[in-house]
Structure 1
Amino acid sequence: MLSGDVDADLRQMADDPGFAHQDAARHAIRFRASRDVADLVAVLDDPHPCEMTDVLVALAGSRRTWLNWVPMPSEAIINVANEVGARRARGEDLEVTELGLSAAEPPSAMTACRRITGPVEIGVGDFPEPDIRLPLRNGRHAVWRYAGSEPTPAVPAPSDAAIRTLHKVGGEPWASPLSAFVQAAPLGEVPLEQLLGLLAHLPGPPAMPRWEHLAKSTPAYWFRLLQPWACLGILRHREDEPWPESTRRAVLVDLAFGVEDWVSDAALFALVTAAFRDPGRRPEVRELVRARLDAAVAADRLVTIEESLAHLMLVTPGCRPEDRAVAAAALARAASDTGDEQPAPPPRPRKRRFWHR
């Protein structure tokens, strides 16, 4: 029986000579201390895999970004949406008719804002280079298009049945990427165009106490969480197809390198999950995550998903010392920008991003 104290449980397993996975438990302990993904991979690749392997992976990743929870959105437009939604949930009669951004933010963030505030005019002052509206790579699959400064879904709205499946599967965060993959099986039965519709149209949360509670503080978090679940559904689409030529791989790669958006790291998370399960996919997935992180780091402007991509790099199987250094520098810069006192490289200039009335 687990006590609820993750570190104590792992120490007990590692010290128990009768426990068949002592080495894996020791690797889990080391991962929690050093966050070196090589130790997490050693747990994944236990020479005697069984259900306990999944338990050890979940314990190792407990309360770790992407392994157990999706990063909170950080966009200015989302800060406004959370404030408006929370005040309304507490009974305040608050109306918002107009918002403004000094620079563009991801289309999912703008859509989530409107899902919370209702119809609102959002003015965008600038589209600094690299233009957020342009995909990093041209691909066949996309969920967003732009008409001037306004993002709109490039795919039809999902059906009620697809939304019900999402609510049933994705009402809670996952215990680990391994368990999330198993849990997402029903989403794999949802037609691909419906899964893409979930990503762009952002249906509201299920009627659960968890989301009723979060409506009073961070109502936007549901919209951040649902997209990785939809991408896990894409990962389970047509699983009989050989991976290199598969539809699921092509769609996820296109989404990862599409317009800069929450969908980008959600798709990469699904690819990292594929790498967790299959060592043969790890070299390619590491290259994909690093390439997307490099693009974010190289941008001479604020990239709101950069910190999230850095966290994802650190849990990608095969992450190399140079990958870890790039990710750590991005996280240190983000911590410096938010006022933490830990050492960091000189921060990239950041402007106040919004006004509202």
Structure 2
Amino acid sequence: MADRSGERGDAERLEAEGEVATARIALADGDLTHAARHLEDALARDPGLPETHEALAEFAARAGGAAKALDWFEPEKRAYIGTVAARGHLCAVAGRWDEAVALLAQCAGHEPDRPWLDVAWLRRPGIAELVDPDTVARAAAGVAPRLPDPVDEEHRAPLTPLLDLVRASVGRHPGHTMLLWCGSTLARRMGRAEDAVAWAGRSYDLEPCHPAAVMLGYALRSAGRPEQALDVWRGEVRRDPSDLDLYIDIAELLQTLGRPAEGLEWAERAAAADPDHPKARPAAHALRHALDGDTRHLVALADHLRGAPDHEYAGELLARLGRGRPWLNWIPGGNEAIVSLLHQALEQSVAADAALGLTVSALEPPSALLALRTAFPRASLDVQDVPEPDLRVPPRPVTTALWTYEGTTARPAVRPPSPEAAEAVRRVAWHGWPHLPAAYDDAVVLSGLDPVDLLGVLVHPPAPRDDALGRALAAQAPDLWIRAVQVWACLGLAHHRTDEPWAASRRRALLADVLAGAEDWVCEAAALAIVATAWVDPAAREDAARLVARRLLDALEARKTRVVTLTWSLCHLALAAPGVIPEVAALAADVLRAIETADAIDAIDAIDAEDTEDASEAQAPA
């Protein structure tokens, strides 16, 4: 739910006050039509402004009473939330309580974070006696599905009047089954699990209908009684096996209980009953992933979403399963010694113009030094050694080089991008996304840029955006901004001439060159773009897996004699590549496990070199 506090809320209130002032001028001139429009606008901008309600009362008096004033507010002619709200309030003044509650609930369902329901007449004693329980039930049923489950406690206040009305109505109509199960839905989402259980349970006892059973299961689940929820839902499926959504609810609940194999059976039953069900196959893919952790199930989810973009559940699952996973959901930071020194200097509030003199034991990727000099332009670096294999030399021949070296000093080998291209990447670059297909899709706005400009962005990154988040990155993590820019530039390259088949395309040639170039963060960025392309283009999958695996094997070969800071990322990227061969996947997983142990260096050195050789032999030529 949105947060309208602070500056935005103040601006909305000022705008609403201006609309009320204009409405009063129109009223003084007898122009009720224009006054009505400005009052609607005032309500739309700030539903809780007291002056708006006072002006509505003045409007009703001028119109000859609230009932006659309704003629100026007709939602069927003017589909506008301010019109609906104004009519609702006037209905309350006219004593048309059912319509008043229904209209304000409609507003709250549309914008549940705003105080549409926080009005005196809805809090008056005895309001439940004036409103039909059917109306209250429908109001709860209209609002509840639009809410998070549960609503954060700090966001519940605007909805509390409706829950209070439900509770009072239940007290007056304890046998109204629809009110009970509809009210249970609202109570559950408002964090009142025990009320939800009590109301849905009473409804089910009085009339064991399908909605009551479903809502009782939800309530029991929210109250921390999942086994009881399963019993209720399984019993309802035996009674009425037609609701395939309930099969998915059961499958998800079994997964949360650590029983994904049982959950998969339910998802597969739903898919067998209706192969086109929007949740059945996605749920099955997610449960298979829970069983073995294989990325191919996430790719299958992506394929499902591509084939049925209206199946939002598949996208939700894809985002949920990738959440927190490097490269699938976010760009990890660099792990070089230079980056560590950079962060130490930032934490110690070293002045940006300080002439920092740093020493590192071995040459590191040039983008790490670029990040350092972004924050500290006068920084100097003393490199004590260039261990073999030399990271300045690409492990494989490339046509396009991004860096050139003078001794240990790297300089961009391509021209800076045009200002327009730099700004385009600057606008879209960020360090996270819901899932890989979403990142790929968002980068389509870069498809029209000259690839030479995008290559330029990789080594001449623009400054962070001039907003709160951009300034925070500049002050706290300039390295992460550079990595984000590089990733999005490569995603832009992935959109170049997408009408060309991947294997013979220029986009493939450019990304393969960046990936295979001198050891640098841009290699990780290119690998991410290649993997993202494979997620959305099955024709690219085998080649993409081969390209990323080869770069990983090159890194692991170099890792035998020196530190390769890209290793961790390349392992994750190889595992994310659809169709990665089992030998490479196993090797990447072994390396990650070794890195994540306390004695990471010793563990990595202990990995059998024969594993690397086996994977290299299994890897087909690029």
- TM-score bin, normalised by smaller chain: 0.7 to 0.9
Task: Check conservation: 2:295, 2:578, Cα contact below 8 A.
Answer: yes
Tell me the equivalent position of 1:43. 301
1:33–1:118: structure 2 CA closer, same or farther, 3 Å change rule? Answer: farther
- Give the CA deviation at 1:189: 1.4
| Identity across matched positions, percent | 36
Aligned-partner residue type, residue 346 of structure 2: G
Task: Check conservation: 2:490, 2:525, Cα contact below 8 A.
Answer: yes
Q: 359, 363, 366: which is aligned to 1:107? A: 366
1:294–1:37: structure 2 CA closer, same or farther, 3 Å change rule? Answer: same
The DSSP-based 3-state class of the residue aligned with 1:45 is: helix
Tell me the equivalent position of 1:212. 471
Q: Quick one: distance in 1 between partners of 2:604 and 2:366?
A: 29
The DSSP-based 3-state class of the residue aligned with 1:220 is: helix
1:182–1:83: structure 2 CA closer, same or farther, 3 Å change rule? Answer: same
1:56 aligns with 2:314: no
- Give the CA deviation at 1:195: 0.5
Task: Check conservation: 1:142, 1:255, Cα contact below 8 A.
Answer: yes
CA-to-partner distance for each residue in 1:18-50, whole Å, 9 max, x for gaps? 952322223224435643112112212339532
1:296–1:345: structure 2 CA closer, same or farther, 3 Å change rule? Answer: closer
Where in structure 2 are the equivalents of 1:90-239 lying within 5 Å?
A: 95-239=354-498
Deviates more, 1:158-167 or 1:220-229: 158-167
Task: Check conservation: 1:13, 1:25, Cα contact below 8 A.
Answer: no
Aligned-partner residue type, residue 281 of structure 1: A
The DSSP-based 3-state class of the residue aligned with 1:184 is: helix
Aligned-partner residue type, residue 262 of structure 1: W
Q: Quick one: distance in 2 between partners of 1:2 and 1:247?
A: 47
Q: Quick one: distance in 2 between partners of 1:233 and 1:269?
A: 12
- Give the CA deviation at 1:161: 1.4
Instruction: Give the 4+ runs in structure 1 shifted more than 6 A.
Output: none
Q: Quick one: distance in 1 between partners of 2:149 and 2:549?
A: 34
Q: Quick one: distance in 2 between partners of 1:120 and 1:241?
A: 44
Q: How many residues align?
A: 339
1:254–1:93: structure 2 CA closer, same or farther, 3 Å change rule? Answer: closer
Task: Check conservation: 1:14, 1:22, Cα contact below 8 A.
Answer: no
Aligned-partner residue type, residue 454 of structure 2: L
The structure carrying a bigger helix percent of its residues is: 2
When normalised by structure 1's length, the TM-score is 0.86
Tell me the equivalent position of 1:355. none
- Give the CA deviation at 1:250: 0.3
CA RMSD of aligned residues (A): 2.7
Deviates more, 1:195-204 or 1:315-324: 315-324
Where in structure 2 are the equivalents of 1:7-46 lying within 5 Å?
A: 12=249, 14-15=251-252, 20-31=278-289, 34-46=292-304
**5+ residue gaps in structure 2?**
1-145, 151-221, 223-247, 253-266, 608-622
The DSSP-based 3-state class of the residue aligned with 2:437 is: helix
Tell me the equivalent position of 1:85. 346
Q: Quick one: distance in 2 between partners of 1:115 and 1:274?
A: 30
CA-to-partner distance for each residue in 1:294-344, whole Å, 9 max, x for gaps? 1111112100000000011111111233222211122122223x558xx95
Task: Check conservation: 2:354, 2:378, Cα contact below 8 A.
Answer: no
CA-to-partner distance for each residue in 1:88-134, whole Å, 9 max, x for gaps? 3xx86772332121111001111111111113221211111110000
Where in structure 2 are the equivalents of 1:248-327 lying within 5 Å?
A: 248-299=507-558, 300-327=561-588
Q: Quick one: distance in 2 between partners of 1:316 and 1:301?
A: 26
Aligned-partner residue type, residue 31 of structure 1: H
1:62–1:141: structure 2 CA closer, same or farther, 3 Å change rule? Answer: same
Task: Check conservation: 2:363, 2:385, Cα contact below 8 A.
Answer: yes
Deviates more, 1:288-297 or 1:234-243: 234-243
The DSSP-based 3-state class of the residue aligned with 1:145 is: strand
Q: Quick one: distance in 2 between partners of 1:160 and 1:238?
A: 22
Structure showing greater radius of gyration is: 2
1:132–1:176: structure 2 CA closer, same or farther, 3 Å change rule? Answer: same
- Give the CA deviation at 1:224: 1.4
1:116–1:317: structure 2 CA closer, same or farther, 3 Å change rule? Answer: same
Q: Quick one: distance in 2 between partners of 1:282 and 1:113?
A: 36
Q: Quick one: distance in 1 between partners of 2:402 and 2:396?
A: 14
**5+ residue gaps in structure 1?**
349-357
The DSSP-based 3-state class of the residue aligned with 1:68 is: coil
Q: Quick one: distance in 2 between partners of 1:287 and 1:163?
A: 31
Aligned-partner residue type, residue 249 of structure 1: R
The DSSP-based 3-state class of the residue aligned with 2:285 is: helix
Task: Check conservation: 1:87, 1:216, Cα contact below 8 A.
Answer: no
Q: Quick one: distance in 2 between partners of 1:93 and 1:184?
A: 32
The DSSP-based 3-state class of the residue aligned with 2:465 is: coil
